[in-house]
Structure 1
Amino acid sequence: MAALLAARAFLEIRYLAGDARRVSEDRSPEDDLERIRFLADVCHNMPGIAQPRPWRPSRRGAPGSSVQQAMAKRPMGWAWHTAGPEKRAWMLRHIENAGLQWTPPPPLPARRKGPSPMTLRQRAGVLLGRWPVRPPAGHLSLPPEAHVLKALDSDAICALYEEAGRLRLGLGKGGPWLRAHLDADSVHYLVPDPASYYWPGMPSTRGEIDWWQCTALLRMCDGEQVSGMVAVLPETFAALPSTLPRRKQVRLVHHARTTERDTYLWGRDHKAECDPQLCGFVPETTGDPPPDD
């Protein structure tokens, strides 16, 4: 299906870009460019859908989210549900013209609140104290001082986000928005858990990555626990106090890995009710919710 739609889009783009089109049709070049943009936007993901690679998690041993699992079952799900009425009509017209029958994929699931239940394997790992963070193939493990989950207060979490922004490490944007919306009285958690493409030693715009991508498990002002990402220098992380029992650390790492809602999604849902009287945050002067890193 995806291959068919991509082929139809390429044919139309080739026609729109041809010289014969300029002579025979009474449409401006701007109209043609807009149509080409439309077709490219509809089908830019189609080649990957037509020949999908086997799905691999960005972190070894981490489960796929509910959206990723749905996409594995119906690869056209994202392309269909992010398309507007005009794009969907274009897809259906070409599918019908090809004499094919196709049922559009069901809606993508909403990202669930809270973590997924642990599997038996994960529960066994907790009992044995087996650390869940493992290196990608061909890379060394993180050092022992990274195999720790640390409990931090709101000031410490905000300081880490501020340091990441000040040093331009590339991950972590919080500022006044984050400070205003964290539950100031709750404990938050932080653990080095780099994705394969952020593993230390991988190339980046600043040379090799020399920081740790950390997952933060944050309690927001309404009580919901969400995830976040922040880049932390190894020496900064090592200097943070470690106070939690080992089994609790391992359990919380699994908890953080399976928490699908992040600060961006929480902030998007909270935006309508965000008010200086409620949160102490003034959007006009301090910016928007942090992006989904």
Structure 2
Amino acid sequence: MSDRELAGFLADEALLEIRHLARRARMSPEEAAHAEVIDKMDKLADFCRDMRAIAAGPRPWRPSQRGIGYPSRRTQAMRARPMSYRWNVANEERQAWILSRIDAAGYRWTPPPALPTPRKGVPPLTLRQHLGLLFGWPVKTPHGCRPLPRQSRSLKALDRDELFSLQQEAGRLRLGMGEASTWLHAHLDPDATHYLFPDPPSFYWPNPDAGRRWWHCRVLVRMIDGEWVNSSLSVLPETFAALPSTVPRLRQRHLVATARLTERDVGLWGRDHEPCTPEGCGYTPPDEHQGDDGCAVSPQRPRSPASESRPPHS
């Protein structure tokens, strides 16, 4: 049984179970808590939607960020086995439910392998990618979107405290992505230069008419162990324009291309990091507190974001 055939079958099974739960709740309301039944139905509805999308067939691959000319290893794996992502992120209960439905129907299906693990480190650019740096800024405007102003086609170099200040502004103004995290501040290389540039995906492209005025930026940061990883941060256009531009133009393009090829982010780095102790990394998680400007500063690790501090492939 193919993944797409299985997805169509599981979508029907999920709908049948939703109907069963609804009827049971109506006929015997004392058997199950109302909130518990609603939660099960809600999860099954989400699962049914996902299965129907898989069963509908493949769509032409189109990157969410133009200028990235080929799918990642993860995307390639999911296109080869459309059930890869949903199977690998499913908990044991959901996986058991899937297998029980397959077994009851008498079908045969082999679960997909684990998705490729994001590679550590900064990948070197190929010759073709190096040549591409000579032909304009790597971040392209998605089809049907309004181009960003010229000042967005720039990369800014920041130290750790300058980046933390931008995160504070994002949290204070409740912009789309990013907040001040004392955990991240403590685990960034204090002697390194970090890099920030606008790189919004198509579904998050700035649209002032829809109330989304900020620029979704990619941040290339160096952690305390020397690894370069990605993070994200929303920055107001006027804030970004006011940052000094100190990196040579061709070097900016090289760093932008490098950041877009870097597979690991701050969240993955945090999962691999040993528990914080004064004897280890030197960081002791504090209680959540108020920053100097009155905005909350989170001690928590960002979710999915020493040796010499040379930038990657300099």
Please classify the TM superposition score into its range, dividing by the shorter chain length.
Answer: 0.7 to 0.9
Q: In the alignment, is residue 133 of structure 1 matched against residue 139 of structure 2? A: yes
How many angstroms apart in 1 are the aligned matches of 2:77 and 2:186?
34
SS at match of 2:287: helix
Deviations 1:166-196 (A, max 9, x none): 2211211233222111100011111111111
1:276 match: secondary structure: coil
TM-score by length of 2: 0.81
Shift of 1:44: 4.5
Structure 1's consecutive aligned runs of 4 or more residues displaced over 6 angstroms after TM superposition are: none
Note if 1:13 corresponds to 2:18. yes
What residue number does 1:153 align with? 159
Q: Which amino acid aligns with 1:213?
A: H
Distance in 1 of aligned mates of 2:263 and 2:25:
51
Q: 2: distance between equivalents of 1:131 and 1:50? A: 37
In 2: Cα distance, 1:47 partner to 1:180 partner: 44
Letter in 2 for 1:151: A
Task: Specify the alignment match of 2:130 in structure 1.
Answer: 123
CA deviation profile, 1:247-273 (whole Å, cap 9, x unmatched): 211111111111121112212221x33
Q: TM-score, normalised by structure 1?
A: 0.86
Q: 1:218 deviation in Å?
A: 0.2
Matched, 1:92 2:104: no
Q: CA deviation at 1:30?
A: 3.4
Counterpart residue type for residue 287 of structure 2: T
Which aligned pairs between 1:74-223 and structure 2 lie closer than 5 A?
74-126=81-133, 128-201=134-207, 204=210, 207=211, 209-223=212-226
The runs of 5 or more residues in structure 1 that have no matched partner are none
Work out whether residues 77 and 107 of structure 1, in 8 Å CA contact, stay in contact via their aligned partners in 2. Answer: yes
Structure 2 alignment gaps of length 5 or more: 1-5, 289-298, 306-314
The separation in 1 between residues aligned to 2:193 and 2:25, in whole angstroms, is 67
Q: Structure 1 pair 18/118, CA: closer, same or farther in 2 (3 Å)? A: same
Tell me, yes or no, if the aligned pair for 1:129 and 1:247 is still in contact at 8 Å.
no
Identity fraction in percent: 51
Deviation larger for 72-81 or 35-44: 35-44
Show the 5 A alignment for 1:13-92. Answer: 13-18=18-23, 22=27, 28-30=31-33, 33=37, 36=41, 39-40=44-45, 42-52=47-57, 53-62=59-68, 63-92=70-99
What is the aligned-residue RMSD (CA, Å)?
2.7
CA distance in 2, matches of 1:267, 1:235: 31
* SS of corresponding position for 2:233: strand
